[in-house]
């Protein structure tokens, strides 16, 4: 069975270790959200870690599972932060100049157009 291009999302919590194969990054994100929420209810939690890997037959050093980066060079954590920021603004645009928020935005980045600082915190006017 050719697994080329398959994605595997993994999550390690204090008591749990989970892994599942998914077909797209969008399908990986809900698992990470769900597993994180489940872990946060456990007050014994001391650490958690997660990631997304892609299967690549042509991987370097014979490694088939490699960390996934999107076209902008973001790993899954950065992708999820960017999504959270974009989703927290109406229509995914800058509230000051209405410019589209870039897909690779990170917390505290300034708008290229007007300098508005983006963050994951909902803004209260």
Residues in contact with Zn ion by CB under 5 A are 94, 96-97, 99, 111, 113-114, 116
Instruction: Give the shortest CB-99-to-Zn ion separation in angstroms.
Output: 5
Q: Which is nearer to Zn ion, 9 or 94 (CB)?
A: 94
Shortest gap between Cβ of 115 and Zn ion (angstroms)? 7
**Minimum distance of Zn ion from residue 125's CB (angstroms):** 15
Pick the closer one to Zn ion by CB: 32 or 85.
85
Q: Toward Zn ion, which CB reaches closer, 51 or 102?
A: 102
Q: DSSP of the chain, one letter per residue?
A: ---TT-EEEEEE-SS-EEEEEESSHHHHHHHHHHHHHHHHT-TT----EEEEEEE-TT-GGG--EEE---TTS--HHHHHHHHHHHHTSGGGB-TTT-PBPPTT--TTPBPTTT-PBP-SSPP--
């Amino acid at each position: 069975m050719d697994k080329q291009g398959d994605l595997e999302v993994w999550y390690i919590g204090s008591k749990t270790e989970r892994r599942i194969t998914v077909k797209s990054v969008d399908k990986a994100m809900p698992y990470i959200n769900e597993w994180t929420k489940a872990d946060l209810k456990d007050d014994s939690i001391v650490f958690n870690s997660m990631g997304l890997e892609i299967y690549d037959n042509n991987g370097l050093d014979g490694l088939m599972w490699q960390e996934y980066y999107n076209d902008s060079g973001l790993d899954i954590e950065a992708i999820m932060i960017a999504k959270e920021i974009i989703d927290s603004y109406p229509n995914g645009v800058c509230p000051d100049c209405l410019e589209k928020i870039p897909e690779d935005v990170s917390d505290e980045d300034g708008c290229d157009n007007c300098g508005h600082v983006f963050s994951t915190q909902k803004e209260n006017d």
